[in-house]
Chains A and B, each alone.
Chain A
Amino acid sequence: MELYRQTINQLQTKITAGEITASDVVASVSKRITEVDAAVEAFITVCADAKANVDNIISRSPLAGMPGAVKDNICTQGIRTTCGSRILENFIPPYNATVVDRLNEAGAVIIGKANQDEFGMGSSTENSGYHITRNPWDLSRVPGGSSGGSAAAVASGQALWALGSDTGGSVRLPAAFCGIVGLKPTYGRVSRYGLVAYASSLDTIGALTRDVYDNALVMNVIAGYDEHDSTSINIPREDYTANIAAGVRGLKIGLPKQYYGEGLSPEVALALEQAIQTYRELGAEIIEVDMPNTDYALSTYYIIATAEASSNLARYDGVSYGLRVEGDNIVDMSEKTREQGFSEEVRRRIMLGTYTLSAGYYDAYYNKALKVRRLIKNDFDAAFKIVDLLLTPVAPTQAFKIGEKTDDPLTMYLSDVCTVTVNLAGVPALSLPCAFANNLPIGMQLIGAPLSEALLLRAGYAFERVSGLANKIAPCGGEQ
């Protein structure tokens, strides 16, 4: 079997046994990129020199020598970091994000910078300033977003792992649409330093991999306290692989009824039903729970996210970095720069956020949303007094067609209805494939209490062992 088709865990076993070297792995993945990326377009930048120093890596980390993709909103020193935006087309960060430093220390190989919806604003990766990334299972469909490039790269064998960012579902939704595993950690568990901010109180960095075990391996490298992020949690990280095979017998899994409403497609509803049955058979106890404020989550999310974004994106003014479009004076220059550099969706969200923060509206929108956010968090706290985990869909439907939802922003926002609650509450959630229908994957979401990443991975691992859905490589339009 070609090396790019294998998991990190499998490849490391072979490297340890002396059967292959890290360079072989990098070469295989690089070759795969040249074969399929013209069709998938997962990358904004492919790092040409990624192969250079593979054999000199001395790290003993399981990620040593393993090629992966980093979402293009995570700063890489000396490698341009665009956030999927034309406004940062030529931006070369003079520093590394903390996660990138940690990956480098582990000897991981960054093979490219992955495409995304501009600044994370989108659910389909159609809103990139560069190109649309295609779902490698069906090239006429979206990979989900905003970390669509990361998910498509991993699903198509162009990376063994990828980093994405998740502000309202941006790791979990593309993982679900592309049939891979995506973990959104507890807010503060993985440092945000170097992650270009979209909505600071919601942003997280998470890993995308082709099976649960690999995800734990990446988390073992990127998670943990960082003094450069004041919101980083100062508690030592667990070893996420240590207890991963412990099973789910006796665990209480909650089904929040608000997530199983009428909006679910029949395929998704059926897939979830079967997954619930699987967990029952694995020995988990299934309990229905009530999370009454779920219906308010989408509004709450879009108010908070756009307000923070309007402030976070104010810095792109053409003065000291990024695009500049000349103008008569500084105001004119900045306005022209932002007009040309930002897509319509980004401008729409900036204006929305500006509006809800502006004089006379703050209490009605932003402050109100912060209060409802508290209620949503309370729902989770209450639920986790009764159950260990929650099981929900990731999205109401499977991957949709390119262009299907681009006309009406509100319709697109509805894709995030099952995922935004998790960011509002700051809790961790794991997205993993639970079924295939019509040759397209369907994802499910396990949600846990703060810092329960190890438990989530354990529950995901137990499912994956019986589902047969681990480590699927998408055909990218060719033969499976």
Chain B
Amino acid sequence: MKYKTVIGLEVHVELKTKSKIFCGCSTEFGAAPNTNVCPVCLGLPGVLPVLNKAVVEFAIRAGLALNCQIAEYSKFDRKNYYYPDLPKNFQTSQFDLPIAEHGWLDIEVDGKTKRIGITRIHMEEDAGKLVHAGTITTSDITCVDYNRTGVPLIEIVSEPDLRSPEEAKAYMEKMRTILQYIDVSDCKMEEGSLRCDANISLRLADTEPFGIRAELKNLNSFRSVQRGLEYEQIRQAEILNDGGRVIQETRSFDEGKNVTLSLRSKEQADDYRYFPEPDLPPLVITKQLIDEIRAQLPELPDSRVARLIEQDGLSEYDAKVITATKAMAEYYDAVRVSVTDAKLVANWLTGELARLLNANAVEVEDCPIKAANIVGLLKLLEDGTISGKIAKTVIEEMWQSGKTAKQIVEEKGMVQISNVDEIVIIVEEVINANPQSVEDYRGGKEKAIGFLVGCVMKLSKGRAKPDLVNKLLKERL
């Protein structure tokens, strides 16, 4: 493509506070419609907001984790626009004095690290949900559920520093990792607790001014972020190639059809008539509060990766997979405390355990195998009680039954045979039964030994110690 892409992201993050930002209603996802509501979040006449302290603390935590400067003085403003998911027809948000500004986060694409600027982070209230019978365009009615109204959000606005859809996806993934690490949000895109709007434009060269941008909405998964932007990149390039002009508009990504569709053009610019929220006194953030929150921040993914590489000697790949979620990183630490071979731990977590989690669509937090039981399994491996192959069967069984590795190995008699005499008997039996393979091997077909080893293992039900089988076979051939 002859064009250069410029992307900036606006990320909305639902904070996992117990109560809403301005009232005591629950923030729980999935309640029956209009049950987590009160006069305040319904925007009834006469109500007033009272700010939830935890929202400010979470926002500061996010600001610090994203290397922002925290405002000494911050206030709320009203953003005025009409939409039926907004009961007051204004959103209490922050305009000119957001809680945090001037941050960054590092992403990695094609093995290269790139720093993406973060313009600002501000606090605001979420809107309700509109439900349409049929589709939005065919339905005559709109059903409104205000449960989500007033759930606290932070909006994180990036600089237009992203240069490709892959970078945008990497940014979102990194954002999720960090926000999960600092425990401010569940970051579940499918539940809407992490949402992304993207501004994308094209230009001929990096030195040119930005082109006209489209705003992309409805990017509901990491895959959508990338695919929606890829589609938009091509769409805009085609327009430009034909000598046309991209129009500034809001477009929605249709995941099923893999296209973006125009929602509304921004010919008449929005006029939100921001003004300071008179019902909420301003915030004065002391250095002491910032220091307290900073002191409570957990180790963040980048420094954790460095630690695993340097101290544990892991590969960069393993270190990144392990630190991709806070839960996995903590799982690793919990196992690693009792197992000296860091690489062994990494191999099993990124290999078998990850496979089981994936196949069963289970999060690390909900893993049925506790870290202590993985320790037990790896100990049996390390002291030679079971082979790697048996261990794979054992972990499967552990996942199903919740039993410890030791229980399973003992119950099923899976202890490895390392007694030479016992193995020799089987080896000789196999040699006698497979004269053709023996001949092939002796004739120079080295591969034939693999078949013979397999036969020994099969006869021993996998319990024969593999290196001994190899050695004893070779001696007799």
Which A positions have Cβ atoms within 8 angstroms of B?
A: 73-75, 81, 83, 88, 91, 93-95, 97, 192-197, 200-201, 227-231, 307-308, 310-311, 314-315, 317, 319-321, 330-331, 334, 354, 357-359, 362, 366
Contact = CB atoms under 8 A, between A and B. Distances in A.
Given A230-B51, A230-B279, A357 B45 contact: no
Contact of B46 (A75, A311, A314): A75
Nearest to B50: A230
A73 B78 CA distance: 22
A317 B89 contact: yes
Contacts of A83: 45
A434 to B, nearest CB: 33
B337 interface: no
Given A93-B46, A310-B273, 9 more contacts: A94-B39, A97-B46, A192-B48, A194-B46, A310-B80, A311-B273, A314-B90, A317-B82, A354-B273
B89 A196 contact: no
A330 B84 contact: yes
Contacts of B84: 317, 319, 330
A230 B78 contact: no
B39 A330 contact: no
B273 A315 contact: no
A322 B278 CA distance: 24
A91 B142 CA distance: 22
A321 B49 CA distance: 19
A320 B45 contact: no
A176 B43 CA distance: 34
Given A314-B90, A315-B89, A196 B46 contact: yes
A200 B46 CA distance: 10
A95 B48 CA distance: 13
30 contacts: A74-B46, A75-B44, A75-B46, A81-B46, A83-B45, A93-B44, A93-B46, A97-B46, A192-B48, A193-B46, A193-B48, A195-B46, A201-B278, A231-B278, A308-B275, A311-B78, A311-B80, A311-B273, A311-B275, A314-B80, A314-B90, A315-B43, A319-B84, A319-B87, A320-B144, A321-B42, A330-B142, A354-B273, A358-B271, A362-B274
Given A93-B45, A93-B46, A357 B80 contact: yes
A366 B275 contact: yes
Contacts of A97: 46
Interface residues of B, number: 31
A9 B367 CA distance: 72
Contacts of A315: 43, 45, 87-89
B271 A321 contact: no
Contacts of A229: 48, 50
B459 interface: no
B33 to A, nearest CB: 13
Contacts of A358: 271, 273
Contacts of A230: 48-51, 279-281
Contacts of A320: 42-43, 87, 144, 146
A76 B48 CA distance: 16
A201 B78 CA distance: 13
B44 A311 contact: no
Overall SS of chain B's interface: loop
A286 B153 CA distance: 56
A334 B82 contact: yes
Contacts of B280: 230
B279 A231 contact: yes
Given A311-B80, A314-B89, A359 B44 contact: no
Contacts of A362: 273-275
A311 B271 contact: no
Contacts of B43: 315, 320
Contacts of B47: 193-194
Interface string B267-284: 001010111001111000
Contact of A359 (B42, B142, B269, B279): B269
A95 B273 contact: no
**Residue from A83, A93, A315 having most chain B Cβ neighbours under 10 A:** A315
A74 B45 CA distance: 9
A256 B271 CA distance: 41
Contacts of B142: 330
Contacts of A88: 45
Given A311-B80, A357-B275, A231 B42 contact: no
Contacts of A231: 48, 278-279, 281
Contacts of B45: 75, 81, 83, 88, 91, 93, 196-197, 315, 321
- Identify which of A75, A93, A320, A362 gathers the most chain B CB atoms within 10 Å of its CB: A320
Interface string B24-52: 00000000000000010011111111110
Nearest to A81: B45
Given A311-B80, A314-B88, A330-B142, A94 B44 contact: yes
B60 to A, nearest CB: 19
Contacts of A81: 45-46
A362 B42 CA distance: 29
Nearest to B270: A359
Nearest to A191: B48
A36 B144 CA distance: 46
A374 to B, nearest CB: 14
Interface in B192-250: none
Those 9 A-B pairs whose CB atoms lie nearest each other, nearest first: A314-B89, A201-B278, A357-B273, A200-B278, A196-B45, A194-B46, A75-B46, A196-B46, A315-B88
Contacts of A93: 39, 44-46
Interface string B85-116: 00111100000000000000000000000000
Contacts of A194: 46-47
B109 to A, nearest CB: 38
Contact of B48 (A228, A311, A331): A228
Given A230-B281, A311-B275, A358-B273, A319 B46 contact: no
A192 to B, nearest CB: 6
A320 B90 CA distance: 15
B48 A321 contact: no
B38 to A, nearest CB: 8
Contacts of B39: 93-95
Contacts of B87: 315, 319-320
Nearest to B45: A196
A195 B45 CA distance: 8
A196 B47 CA distance: 7
Given A94-B39, A320-B42, A358-B273, A311 B90 contact: yes
B340 to A, nearest CB: 56
B187 to A, nearest CB: 30
Nearest to A370: B276
Contacts of B269: 359
Nearest to B23: A228
A310 B89 CA distance: 11
A362 B272 CA distance: 11
B275 A307 contact: yes
Nearest to B81: A314
Interface string B255-269: 000000000000001
A89 to B, nearest CB: 13
A229 B47 CA distance: 9
Nearest to A95: B39
B8 to A, nearest CB: 22
Contact of A314 (B44, B82, B274, B275): B82
Contacts of A201: 278
Interface in B279-293: 279-281
Contacts of A308: 275, 278
Nearest to A192: B48
